[in-house]
Amino acid sequence: MPVPTKPIPKRPVRFDAAERAALDAALQKNTLWYLGSGKPDDAPVARTMQRYADRFGAYRAVSTSSGTASLHVAIAASQMPTGSEVIVTPITDIGTINAILYQNLIPVFADVDPDTAMPQAKHIEAAITEHTRGVVVVHLTGRPAEISDIAALCEAKGLVLIEDCAQALGATHKGKPLGQFGRFGCYSLNDQKHITCGEGGFVLTHNDDDYFLCHNYADKFFDRHGRGVRLHALAPNYRMSDLDGAMAEVQLAKLDQMVLPRRRLGDRLNDELAKIRGIIPQGRPLDGESSYFFFLFRIDSPGVIKCSRQVFRDQMLDLAGISSSGAYVPEPIYRSDYFLNKTFFPGRWPAEVVAGRTYDYRKVSLPGAETAVETGIRFILHEGFKDSDIDDYVAAVRMVAERNY
Ligand SMILES: *Cc1c(COP(=O)(O)O)cnc(C)c1O
């Protein structure tokens, strides 16, 4: 008889009188235009973005309408010639990849360390060709990637480095928030993330030129700052309205209350699972702090654990009432029909036409990524969890592991 499934704790109330007051104040202004009626640098959304820049250790931040938009803006502002290759992980949100495709650049997938499910510098180095111009690093689950090593590699090879920090709000490396180790740091504020404005995102920039370029790319290349550059390049409208900006401002103050409980619980879960033979948690970062967007571990199967990942998950549910999902993606992204058939655009893929090269993703095989996806298990973890919920996770994993040695 299967035991009853344990209910998953709900996230505590995320929006309260503070958000309502901020939204009301925005409405009272009778305009939701992101530049307000003031000067661009003094506009309400820009002022909120300055708070984000200060909080995340950047020079200035550019608001966008999503995390995908922030990645697209950063990639466009990197000015990599059409048809260049950009190295990226095959285990990420599709928004990371789409941002590369939008700009008619070619995603080249790097293998990953199966235990962290992220590429290390050596995996990225192995993917570099004469056509490589950039690297997008994803801090998966909010566990910082080995970003110092990767930044040193990109520097040595003259490659643009962009950080996808969408899952890493509040995470740090060497005591610093993520997004300042590459040329651009891209964040999402969609509803699933630690803090949200409904839909939105931002790009961290570290100098004037990059700031204005990202601003142009997020707003149709209009010359909002009177710099005499207008309609210079194809640029979408990714503006954030003042309603979203008002939400974003209030939510920023709540970031620590979302991240700190997750970090305490997640670090504990990491430490406890690491004691169980055959269980490999993603692990605490060596020189930083994770933000635990969710919790990722994998089973050492078929080596130590003699059942498949699916059986392991079924037994956790049936015998302990603990629900889980697979690794973050159902398959490494190069194995999706999308990439196997390259159905990015109707008709031919312009990037290949410009490059004069074709790319056959059917031939891509990255053993670390395949192991990470086939053996990975994801637990929900957020600030509404209690220590007893972590105890339940640990007990379920231990029981099922011990049945399958
Ligand atoms: C959420 C997410 C994105 C995309 O953000 P959206 O706001 O949904 O466009 C990109 N990359 C990663 C790693 C994400 O988790």
For residues 332-349, one letter each, b for 16 or more C-beta atoms within 10 angstroms of the residue's C-beta and e for the rest, the string is: bbbbbebbeebebeeeeb
Indicate whether 40 pLDDT > 80: no
Question: Band of the pLDDT at 289, cuts 50, 70, 90?
Answer: very high
Question: Band of the pLDDT at 2, cuts 50, 70, 90?
Answer: confident
Question: Band of the pLDDT at 215, cuts 50, 70, 90?
Answer: very high
Task: Give the per-residue pLDDT at 135.
Answer: 98
Task: Give the per-residue pLDDT at 228.
Answer: 85
Which of 164, 192, 247, 293 most suits a substitution to test ligand 1, by most atoms within 8 Å of the C-beta? 164
Indicate whether 234 pLDDT > 90: yes
The two counts, helices (H) then strands (E), for the chain are: 14, 14
| Average pLDDT for 348-352 | 97
Compute the 3-state secondary structure of the chain and give helix, strand, coil in percent, each to the nearest 5: 40, 15, 45
Query: In angstroms, how far is the first alpha carbon of the chain from the final one?
Result: 23
Any atom of ligand 1 within 6 Å of the Cβ of 68: yes
Indicate whether 270 pLDDT > 90: yes
Task: Give the per-residue pLDDT at 227.
Answer: 86
Any atom of ligand 1 within 6 Å of the Cβ of 141: no
Distance CA 23, CA 306 (A): 54
Q: Which atom of ligand 1 is nearest to the CA of 138?
A: 13
For 305, the token pair is 């654990």
Active site residues: 193
| Average pLDDT for 337-352 | 97
| Average pLDDT for 311-327 | 97
Average pLDDT, the chain: 96
Instruction: Write the DSSP string, 247-286.
Output: HHHHHHTTHHHHHHHHHHHHHHHHHHHHTSTTEEE----T
| Average pLDDT for 379-394 | 98
Any atom of ligand 1 within 6 Å of the Cβ of 166: yes
Q: Rg of the Cα trace of the chain?
A: 22
Task: Give the per-residue pLDDT at 118.
Answer: 98
Residues sharing a CB contact under 8 Å with residue 35, sequence separation 6 or more, in sequence order:
43, 45, 46, 224
Task: Give the per-residue pLDDT at 43.
Answer: 84
Indicate whether 42 pLDDT > 90: no
Which domains, from first to last, does the chain contain?
17-254 (3.40.640.10), 256-331+367-403 (3.90.1150.10)
For 223, the token pair is 């010359």
Helix/strand/coil for 97: helix
| Average pLDDT for 113-122 | 98
Task: Give the per-residue pLDDT at 39.
Answer: 76
Any atom of ligand 1 within 6 Å of the Cβ of 144: no
Question: Band of the pLDDT at 96, cuts 50, 70, 90?
Answer: very high
Indicate whether 58 pLDDT > 90: yes
Indicate whether 38 pLDDT > 80: no
| Average pLDDT for 22-40 | 88
The proportion of the chain whose per-residue pLDDT surpasses 70, expressed as a percent, equals: 100
Q: Smallest Cα–Cα separation from 200: which of 185, 187, 184, 189?
A: 189
Question: What is the whole-number distance in angstroms between the Cα of residue 166 and the centre of ligand 1?
Answer: 5
Any atom of ligand 1 within 6 Å of the Cβ of 66: yes
Task: Give the per-residue pLDDT at 225.
Answer: 86
Task: Give the per-residue pLDDT at 146.
Answer: 97
DSSP assigned state of 185: E
Q: What is the pTM of this model?
A: 0.97
Q: Which atom of ligand 1 is nearest to the CA of 188?
A: 7
| Average pLDDT for 260-287 | 97
Tokens 């490059």 correspond to 355
Task: Give the per-residue pLDDT at 237.
Answer: 98
Task: Give the per-residue pLDDT at 231.
Answer: 83
For 30, the token pair is 């009778």
- Sign of the C-alpha dihedral computed for residues 241, 244, 248 and 250 taken in this order: positive
Q: Which atom of ligand 1 is nearest to the CA of 193?
A: 1
Indicate whether 362 pLDDT > 80: yes
Question: What is the whole-number distance in angstroms between the Cα of residue 227 and the centre of ligand 1?
Answer: 31
Indicate whether 257 pLDDT > 90: yes
Question: What is the whole-number distance in angstroms between the Cα of residue 109 and the centre of ligand 1?
Answer: 18
Indicate whether 275 pLDDT > 90: yes
DSSP assigned state of 335: G
Which of 65, 91, 98, 167 most suits a substitution to test ligand 1, by most atoms within 8 Å of the C-beta? 167
Ligand 1, atom 1, residue with closest C-alpha: 166
| Average pLDDT for 44-72 | 97
Q: Exposed (0-12), middle (13-18) or buried (19+): which is 370, by Cβ within 10 Å? A: middle
Any atom of ligand 1 within 6 Å of the Cβ of 200: no
Residues 189, 69: contact at Cβ < 8 Å? no
Any atom of ligand 1 within 6 Å of the Cβ of 167: yes
